[in-house]
């Protein structure tokens, strides 16, 4: 069963000023992610990764085409019941503590009261914010905020995680932890769909990847197949596909 | 409903943890205290004058709290990008708006409670009787009126881009209605034709917030308002609030978020 389906997706941004050209961020994208996969969504800056995710989460309506999560059109709010999302830039209600933030989101997911505290404890432990749980988020460092973001993405024990550059701003240990969390989720049968610029990391954790360039899908496939076909590492493949001249 | 309430609690918590409310409250206390201290003649009418000043300050402060608190909600959510993780959860845009509305309304209600308690203390220090029911009626009508103001400000914060201009516009409109609303029809009579109909139109369309201003009820110790009239007031406020919230939803429903 497919967890995530994108058909012929096109995303255009119309600017408010009259006469400005329409900016096409994604054109004719088709993508399928199966349950239990860890899927890397790659592409240079401005390729359209965040725009695609914005459609998946219902922030931006598709200009044309469709996107479905668990077979439900993304325009239905219920499509988001079983997903966890970590935005590209994470800022949370700064006047809340991590614990209050997670309790708020747990209420939104209507997690029963008895389970709530248990869930909150579990995710705080997982992202190692246990020691700072009663401090307001405005006192957190950037990496701690990022981990609070990861905690909120996991609060509903989601079956699909959509992570927009989950390791940006983290130190090497933090990155390793995120990798471990992703692998652990995979072993629990969850699906992870994430964008990243860290190709080494992508190579180690992803089953499949897609490379987007200027809104178009350039390559899609199993990491192992791609590596074999090109006889190179992911970084070299990436540069070649987006047409960047290779260093001699 | 749970979702709406969860959202509302965050707004209330925000107001409690921000300084604005305390500043306004202390300002009101100080100004009332100053007004009270000029009471040199210990004249009887001075008590009424003090109560009037205190109530006027409460009205102004409550409008400032309601409008500033509401006007910043959605712009802040967007600017700080908290709206993204939030709407990525199973929250509809209608729930989002209702939660914000409820939160602002409850938060200003709590502020109002503190203000009226202070007013009660002030008047009890000068007079020996405490018309609690009068206070409750006046406070409740005041709160209903703020509901309409909050719904209008919420709509404004979606329509106008900048939160500060929205705050100013809302404040000017509300002050205009409170001061001039009831006279518009009379003004209209003295005007030439296209303007006359226009002004009449405005007179019939605007929410008459001044109807909810029953400060005389407590300064002059008037009789209580009959239940039927109260019911009508609730219906009137609910209708306008619902209308404004629906308009806000229609604008916000399909709006792209970035
Ligand atoms: N709100 C917007 N209005 C107009 N154009 C936009 C808007 N958001 C994004 N774009 C444009 O759409 C294109 C794709 O942007 P997007 O944010 O999806 O890229 P990305 O792949 O996430 O890049 P990065 O790796 O830098 O995060 C870019 O050219 C960008 O300028
Ligand atoms: Mg991006």
Q: Where are the domains of chain B?
A: 10-252
> Does residue B220 or residue B53 have the better pLDDT?
B53
The predicted pLDDT at position A11 comes to 92
Quote the CA–CA distance of A206 and A222 in Å, as a whole number.
8
In this structure, which residue's CA is closest to atom 29 in ligand 1? A46
- Ligand 2 centroid–CA A53 distance in Å is 9
Tell if the CB–CB gap between A90 and B81 is shorter than 8 Å. Answer: yes
The predicted pLDDT at position B53 comes to 85
The predicted pLDDT at position A32 comes to 93
Residue B41 has pLDDT above 60, yes or no: no
The predicted pLDDT at position A247 comes to 58
Range with the poorest average pLDDT among A7-21, A96-110, B130-144, B167-181: A7-21
Asked if A67 and A54 touch (Cβ cutoff 8 Å), the reply is no
Q: Is the CB of A60 under 6 A from ligand 1?
A: no
Helix axes of B93-126 and B45-79: crossing angle, nearest 10 degrees = 160
- What tokens appear for A235 in the block? 């970084």
For chain B, the straight-line distance linking the first and the last C-alpha, in angstroms and rounded, comes to 27
The predicted pLDDT at position B21 comes to 85
Residue B40 has pLDDT above 70, yes or no: no
The predicted pLDDT at position B79 comes to 86
The predicted pLDDT at position B185 comes to 75
Tell if the CB–CB gap between A152 and B254 is shorter than 8 Å. Answer: no
Q: Which residue of A has its CA nearest to B3?
A: A108
Range with the poorest average pLDDT among B59-63, B65-69, B210-214: B210-214
* pLDDT average, residue stretch B156-172: 84
The predicted pLDDT at position A35 comes to 92
Asked if A3 and A159 touch (Cβ cutoff 8 Å), the reply is yes
The predicted pLDDT at position A154 comes to 93
H helix intervals, chain B: 2-17, 20-37, 45-79, 83-87, 93-126, 132-159, 163-180, 184-189, 193-205, 216-219, 227-252
Tell if the CB–CB gap between A59 and B87 is shorter than 8 Å. Answer: yes
* pLDDT average, residue stretch B155-165: 84
Residue B160 has pLDDT above 60, yes or no: yes
Mean pLDDT value across chain B: 86
Q: Which residues contact B199 (CB under 8 A, 6 or more apart)?
A: B184, B185, B187, B188, B191
- Ligand 1 centroid–CA A72 distance in Å is 25
The predicted pLDDT at position B130 comes to 74
Asked if B154 and B101 touch (Cβ cutoff 8 Å), the reply is yes
Residue B48 has pLDDT above 80, yes or no: no
Q: What is the mean pLDDT of each run of 10 residues along chain A (248 residues)?
A: 89 76 89 93 92 92 92 87 88 88 93 92 91 90 88 92 88 88 91 92 91 91 89 87 70
């Amino acid at each position: 069963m497919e967890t995530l389906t994108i058909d012929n997706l096109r995303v255009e941004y119309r600017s408010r000023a009259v006469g400005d050209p329409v900016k096409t961020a994604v054109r004719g994208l088709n993508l399928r992610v199966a349950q239990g996969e860890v899927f890397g969504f790659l592409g240079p800056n401005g390729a359209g990764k965040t725009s695609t995710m914005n459609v998946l989460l219902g922030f931006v309506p598709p200009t044309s085409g469709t996107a479905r999560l668990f077979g439900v059109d993304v325009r239905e709010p219920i499509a988001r019941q079983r997903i966890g999302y970590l935005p590209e830039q994470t800022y949370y209600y700064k006047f809340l503590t991590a614990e209050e933030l997670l309790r708020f989101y747990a209420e939104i997911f209507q997690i029963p009261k008895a389970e709530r505290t248990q869930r909150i404890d579990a995710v705080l432990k997982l992202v190692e914010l246990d020691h700072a749980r009663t401090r307001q988020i405005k006192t957190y460092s950037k990496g701690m905020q990022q981990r609070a973001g990861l905690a909120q993405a996991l609060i509903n024990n989601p079956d699909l995680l959509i992570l927009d550059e989950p390791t940006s701003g983290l130190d090497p240990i933090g990155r390793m932890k995120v990798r471990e969390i992703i692998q652990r989720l995979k072993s629990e049968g969850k699906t992870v769909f994430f964008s990243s610029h860290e190709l080494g990391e992508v190579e180690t954790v992803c089953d499949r990847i897609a490379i987007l360039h200027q809104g178009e899908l350039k390559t899609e496939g199993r990491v192992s197949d791609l590596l074999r076909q090109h006889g190179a590492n992911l970084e070299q493949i990436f540069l070649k596909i987006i047409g960047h001249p290779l260093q001699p | 409903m749970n979702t709406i309430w969860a959202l509302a609690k965050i707004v209330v918590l925000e107001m409690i943890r921000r300084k604005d409310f305390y500043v306004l409250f202390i300002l009101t206390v100080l100004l009332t205290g100053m007004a009270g201290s000029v009471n040199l003649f210990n004249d009887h009418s001075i008590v009424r004058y003090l109560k009037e000043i205190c109530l006027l300050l409460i009205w102004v402060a409550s409008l400032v709290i309601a409008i500033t608190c509401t006007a910043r909600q959605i712009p802040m959510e967007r600017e700080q990008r908290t709206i993204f993780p939030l709407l990525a959860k199973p929250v509809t845009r209608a729930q989002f708006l209702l939660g914000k509305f409820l939160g602002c309304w409850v938060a200003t209600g709590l502020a109002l409670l503190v203000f009226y308690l202070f007013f009660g203390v002030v008047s009890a220090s000068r007079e020996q009787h405490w018309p609690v029911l009068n206070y409750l009626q006046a406070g409740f009508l005041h709160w209903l009126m703020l509901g309409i103001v909050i719904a209008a400000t919420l709509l404004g914060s979606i329509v106008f881009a900048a939160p500060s201009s929205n705050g100013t516009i809302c404040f000017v409109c509300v002050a205009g209605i409170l001061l001039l609303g009831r006279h518009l029809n009379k003004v209209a009579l003295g005007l030439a034709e296209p303007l006359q109909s226009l002004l009449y139109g405005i007179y019939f369309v605007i929410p008459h917030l001044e109807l909810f201003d029953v400060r005389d009820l407590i300064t002059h110790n008037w009789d209580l308002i009959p239940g039927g009239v109260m019911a009508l007031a609730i219906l009137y406020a609910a209708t306008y609030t619902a209308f404004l919230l629906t308009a806000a939803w229609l604008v916000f429903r399909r709006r792209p978020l970035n």
